Structure 1
Amino acid sequence: MSSATDTSGLRQRAVNGNGKSVAPSEEGKKTDQLLDSHTQYEFGGPWGVLAIMTGFPILMYYLWICLVFYDGQLVGPKSSDDVVPFLGRMWEHIRVDANPNWYAWKVYGGLIIYQLFLAWLVPGYMQEGLPVPSLGYKTLMYKCNALGCIYITWITAAVLHYTGIFRLTSIIDNFGHLMTVAMIVGFSVSFGMYFLTVATGNQIRMSGNFIYDVFMGACLNPRLGPIDLKMWLEVRIPWVLVFFMAVSGACKQYEELGYVTPNMAFMCLATWLYLNACIKGEECIPQTWDMFHEKWGFLVIFWNFAGVPFSYIYSVVYMSTHDPENYRFSTPTYVVLYTTLLTAYYVWDTSMSQKSRFKMYTQGITTYRKTFPQLPWGVVENPKYIQTAHGNKLLVDGWWAYSRKPNYVADWIMSLSWGLCQGLCSPIPYFYSVFFIAVLVHRVGRDFERCAIKYGKDWEKYCSIVPAKFIPGVF
């Protein structure tokens, strides 16, 4: 049962008066040990993850081909006799228009090397992470310097573009080639990290099945000097590329049309908001499930190297290669579109901030980093929470008083707007939102199952106080 003393089961006063979390109880440590071991297969087990590892890259190629070479429409064999010729046409597009040429390796490899170089050298804010059960509840320190690194990257890109050394338009023009290189890197790092981790004896939570363990990962906190590779990859490659894809599309429109459409400007704003949120609130990332529990395997590595930058940005690819008259909207429609994005962004940014600051608060951290823009209601003063028998606290205040996952709802609405910005010209830009809702629902299931085991009756109490998983009164 909850150890809270008031009748509602909520507390607004920190333990020991300073917000410092108490160590997990002995029972809590036993539960953590159970959760930090392999107990069951996810994603359909070995055959399921094998299907994902082979099927998703194929899907990425297929959607890209349809988008670029078939006017954004989904195509297939015209008859049973056309299956082999159809597959031949698909392969020819990959062989010619998506081969991993030297130029793509220079661009993509250069970005990786430059981001590692900056992450190593640029000074940063040091943030303490959450206690890690597999490390005996030791906390790790994270160097948060993405803010400086990304602004340096923007300046560097601007100089290279205007001097003609590297035109930003070449990013969207070489989409297929870059995508193949990204896939190769994703596979190589995934398998390489698995073998390196096992060779050094640092693997945890293993199933014993090779392909499944490559997919889920073997290591939890891989580091290269001062760089936490898992946190580095979460921001420095995927969202930097997503932003530059949008900028590349805008530059191409400007060179060809003499102006940038409101639709493409929307994508530049949307991708900038997302990237800037990640870098200005980087110190919140160590408090997330990704850092605390998720291992660094194909699931995370491939997705960040290739999946995010080359499957979330289809609307930009479409708009950069099609007549703007196809997706021109009325002024009221643009107002609704931009308002929806900004509203969803506000909820997403502040809800993520509230949760992360609360977790810091439970560690006794009450002084927070100030970066631009800090939005109103990003920190809940005197937060209400449930004190669990495990030792952790569950936030039931701010946005988290209305939904167990308000950040997911806002994040998904933003993803939907990334498709809506090109209207109904092509169904392919909606892949992001369709795929994303499936991922979120699956992740919520994993998260809630884990919480039910970890907190027991306290989780039941939490669910009674915050019944909505996503949207209050709906779901």
Structure 2
Amino acid sequence: MSVRSGDKKTKILNPITIEKDFGGPIGAAFLTIFLPLTTIFLHLCCNEKYLAQGLSLEFNKVKDLFYDEVIVNFKENFFNERIWLVYCSWFFILVFLDFILPGKHLKGVELRDGTKLSYKINGLAMMGLLASTLIARFIQTNGEMPELSFIYDNILSLLCTSIFFSILLSCFVYICSYLPLMMSKNGINTNERILAAGGNSGNVIFDWFMGRELNPRILTWDIKLYCELRPGMLLWLLINISCLHKHYIETGGKLNQSLLLVNLLQGFYIVDGVLNEEGCLSMIDITTDGFGFMLAFGDLTWVPFTYSLQSRYLVLNPIQIGWLNFSLIILLNILGYYVFHSSNSQKANFRKDPASFNQMKSIKTKTGTLLLCDGWWKLSQHINYFGDWIMSWSWCLPTGFNTPLTYFYVIYFGFLLLHRQKRDEDKCRKKYGESWKEYERKVPYKIIPYIY
């Protein structure tokens, strides 16, 4: 723990973590094992052998399937040289493109040492290049696109490789968090890294899982923001497209309504996220959480291989939902997106220029921050979460109701939003004190208006 001198008092730069999230070291160790096994289980429930029978699988069948598919082929899944070459090429080519593609530079939130990190925002160039490459390859190969077939045929090996890669990356950033900085930051804190408030406990397992350093970087390249929106998100897009391509090839050029709809809705979400990456700069993942196994695994494995579950299921279980249901699900997605995007934009604009919102009700806190409690934000404290959750339903409904497996995302995402809301609430209560109590009286609902 180190300190620096201020005008009136000494500030702690890297306070020791007292309250440990996720049940502390024991919980971190459990999740390190449980989460990878969950991703593998979901994959096994959605393959050709079991035809996506999902949660109806008996324990002995799951055990046998795990043994046959994972244990027997352990080396092929985790240490396949070709898969490692492909995965590392994918990861580091995107790193290279992140450096060379044009973009704008923006400042992040102010850190504890008074500085603001610079971030390169080039999502538009990245998506343009990826889309152009896919179109060119489709034309060049007359629609065969062997790269997409390779992805679909090797999903399990790619999944296992990404798990191992996440472990290695987590170890790398953890070790680097103990190395002194080799350059100054505006003349302040010339040799000390800023650690995450929730990952500086001194326990190796817990800090490795949560992420010890807040913003691990190589020179000006930010590892955390890159992993948030590049290798995992774009791989999710490619896995979905590979499922659509698989069905297209096997049926002689036909398109299944449900599979097409899932691709369109999730594809829009991915592209929108990448194109609006500057919004991540104020997200809790970037501003508060350290970068350790939790985020590395979440970005590189959990997102691409569990969020693509609906597409993988629909390849094996094609469903025709009819154009009426097709249209209604699109309308549901539009509603969710409107609530999510409009509420986020209102809050972002309020933060940039509070004076232009002087006609709207807000609460001034002891820190000088204004808490907006009008417009979208009088409906609930996290109305944007509600919009996001509505969108998640539109991704699952195209799969029908034959198995709860394909609704895993909407259930998991609901619990994730509840957990984020609780973390944010605890932080705000400590930060704003009585002002937060007043805010809770004016905006009593947490996420869903008039319900919770």
Which residue is equivalent to 2:150?
Answer: 170
Q: Give the superposition deviation at 1:25.
A: 12
- In structure 1, how many angstroms separate the alpha carbons of the residues matched to 2:95 and 2:13? 35
1:89 paired with 2:68, answer yes
- In structure 2, how many angstroms separate the alpha carbons of the residues matched to 1:298 and 1:333? 40
Q: Give the superposition deviation at 1:97.
A: 7.4
Which residue is equivalent to 1:189?
Answer: 169
Which residue is equivalent to 1:210?
Answer: 204
Q: Do the aligned residues in 2 keep the contact of 1:118 with 1:149 (CA within 8 Å)? A: yes
Distance 1:357 1:141, change over 3 A: farther
1:115 paired with 2:94, answer yes
Which residue is equivalent to 1:76?
Answer: 58
Q: Give the superposition deviation at 1:339.
A: 1.0
1:391 paired with 2:368, answer yes
Which residue is equivalent to 2:329?
Answer: 337
1:312 paired with 2:307, answer yes
Of the structure 1 ranges 91-100 and 456-465, higher mean CA displacement relative to structure 2 is found in 91-100
Q: Give the superposition deviation at 1:86.
A: 6.1
What is the aligned counterpart of 1:359 among 351, 355, 371?
351
Name stretches of at least 5 consecutive residues in structure 2 with no aligned partner.
1-5, 181-191
1:32-431 correspondence to structure 2 within 5 Å: 37-68=16-47, 69-73=49-53, 74=55, 75-78=57-60, 88-89=67-68, 91-92=70-71, 95=74, 98-133=77-112, 135=113, 137-164=114-141, 166-200=146-180, 202=193, 204=195, 205=197, 206-257=200-251, 258-322=253-317, 324=318, 327-361=319-353, 384-431=361-408
Matched residue of 1:72: which SS? Answer: coil
Name stretches of at least 5 consecutive residues in structure 1 with no aligned partner.
1-23, 367-379
Question: How many residues matched?
Answer: 426
Distance 1:163 1:214, change over 3 A: same
Over the aligned positions, Cα root-mean-square deviation in angstroms equals: 2.7
User: One-letter code of the match for 1:462?
Assistant: Y
User: One-letter code of the match for 1:126?
Assistant: H
TM-score normalised by the chain length of structure 1: 0.83
Matched residue of 1:467: which SS? Answer: coil
Q: Do the aligned residues in 2 keep the contact of 1:385 with 1:397 (CA within 8 Å)? A: yes
User: One-letter code of the match for 1:167?
Assistant: E
CA offsets 1:153-176 (integer angstroms, 9 cap, x no match): 221233234434743233222211
CA offsets 1:178-227 (integer angstroms, 9 cap, x no match): 11111111111011110111233536241011100001111111223332
CA offsets 1:20-57 (integer angstroms, 9 cap, x no match): xxxx9989x97xx6996412111011111100000111
1:435-454 correspondence to structure 2 within 5 Å: 435-454=412-431
- The answer to which structure, 1 or 2, has the higher relative contact order (CA under 8 A, 6+ apart) is 1
- In structure 1, how many angstroms separate the alpha carbons of the residues matched to 2:329 and 2:370? 37
Task: Report % sequence identity.
Answer: 29
Q: Give the superposition deviation at 1:84.
A: 7.2
User: One-letter code of the match for 1:284?
Assistant: G
Distance 1:42 1:94, change over 3 A: farther
Distance 1:86 1:173, change over 3 A: closer
- In structure 1, how many angstroms separate the alpha carbons of the residues matched to 2:15 and 2:376? 29
User: One-letter code of the match for 2:343?
Assistant: S
- In structure 2, how many angstroms separate the alpha carbons of the residues matched to 1:345 and 1:465? 25
What is the aligned counterpart of 1:432 among 369, 388, 409?
409
Distance 1:113 1:90, change over 3 A: closer
Distance 1:301 1:85, change over 3 A: closer
Q: Do the aligned residues in 2 keep the contact of 1:287 with 1:356 (CA within 8 Å)? A: no
